[in-house]
Structure 1
């Protein structure tokens, strides 16, 4: 089937914030490519099609070069210009650094950092050649503070935020924009999957994932450099983090993230 709708890519688009972002694109006139690590991606694609979008799901392991490259080849095979990309896939990991397996640390880095850079390279080169495109990179409010008991996760998201801001400046004048989304704690399966259900963060009231995705989508469409996703309390925390000493933020986060 041919389509006159623009095409968007959402990585990690089968659940959580990623699926909500995909819904935002579908509801605003985009066709979609979405990726996920399980067969849930197929069901997610079926739901997105009910919103009028053509949707092309791709199941892959985002921690591997082959998985990321395979997804990009899936996009290329459609022979359509990619107008927007939400590089959203990411995982968390709670627990003390000394207790966690090194292999799990490496997997988090592979998905949150290496995979993001890999896909951003493919997407940015494609969009710059077309002189048009929008890139959204999902970071986290964790990028604004130390994150003890999420000691690899937080720095991975700080990388994502700095990477997005840096790439944004490099691409000025090319027709391609870059926006960073920094969600606060959100009502997805993230903290459960990270093994943090028993922590204060895991048990706390969460931001609405639909609202977080809407804020990210609107920031992307309006060429905003970054947006904190969540309620006013979450946005105020990000503001306060600019002036709060790192040691104070580290102690506070340790208390909230330590497994009980």
Structure 2
């Protein structure tokens, strides 16, 4: 299918779920704007995606810095490009007890997981509301559904993303613009490494992690259907159902047991 001049803007597109989503849009004939921190990684991905016969724009931006979110859109305006689809995939976690973790890394995480997402979405909406069309996919997580000892700030950021996504979806319901939240569970990406989570008990279950391709496929379909949210994977649907039945303190206890260091288990 050829979408001619339609662009999908994807943050965190050089690896993991973001990369798989970018590839999925490329296969569908969408032109891509791919965003990441590493110039070389983006160039390599662009060369790969161009084999689908599409145009690929690379923007090296550090979305830990909210100014880069504004400049990203300024760059697109200069090129007269208004993406039809926005995928807010870039995000990071941090493992450890809150009393011990590095506050600057947590503030960076809040900027990346929340502030830059708000900025990009606000600018996308300003662009798309006059067109009465557009689709937004926000990466939440099953972490959004329960308190997360050992990942308290990450779980908090994802709870924010889910609540906010559902709120603006309602606000936008008569505009032709849809908002979809994607809730993966543990996925076999570099997330755990970047979050310093390799000593977490959860890593003992690595063979049951989802693949990024599976999560991307679920997200892509839900976005195209205009669904409000999708929990990716049967096992994760059961996890969320269980945490919905439990009190918050019981959900936090269970999460603590799952996530504490293996040597403390």
Q: Which residue pairs with 1:101 in the alignment?
A: 102
Q: CA deviation at 1:6?
A: 1.2
List aligned pairs for 1:1-260, cutoff 5 A.
4-39=4-39, 40-205=41-206, 206-229=209-232, 231-260=233-262
SS, match of residue 8 in structure 1? strand
* Number of residue-to-residue matches in the alignment: 257
Quote the Cα distance in structure 2 between the aligned partners of 1:253 and 1:144: 11
Q: CA deviation at 1:80?
A: 3.1
Quote the RMSD (CA, aligned, Å).
1.3
Quote the Cα distance in structure 2 between the aligned partners of 1:236 and 1:53: 39
SS, match of residue 90 in structure 1? coil
Contact 2:178 2:226 in 1 (8 A): yes
Quote the Cα distance in structure 2 between the aligned partners of 1:246 and 1:107: 27
**Which one is further off, 197-206 or 103-112?**
197-206
Contact 1:68 1:115 in 2 (8 A): yes
SS, match of residue 52 in structure 2? coil
SS, match of residue 185 in structure 1? coil
Contact 1:192 1:202 in 2 (8 A): no
Quote the Cα distance in structure 1 between the aligned partners of 2:253 and 2:260: 11
Higher helix share: 2
Deviations along 1:211-254, one digit per CA (max 9) or x if unpaired, are: 1001001000001000012x211121122221112112111111
TM-score when scaled to structure 1? Answer: 0.95
Q: Runs (4+) of structure 1 moved beyond 4 Å? A: none
TM-score when scaled to structure 2? Answer: 0.93
Q: CA deviation at 1:255?
A: 1.8
Quote the Cα distance in structure 2 between the aligned partners of 1:78 and 1:187: 36
Q: CA deviation at 1:76?
A: 2.1
Contact 1:5 1:29 in 2 (8 A): no
Quote the Cα distance in structure 2 between the aligned partners of 1:78 and 1:259: 48
Quote the Cα distance in structure 1 between the aligned partners of 2:81 and 2:61: 21
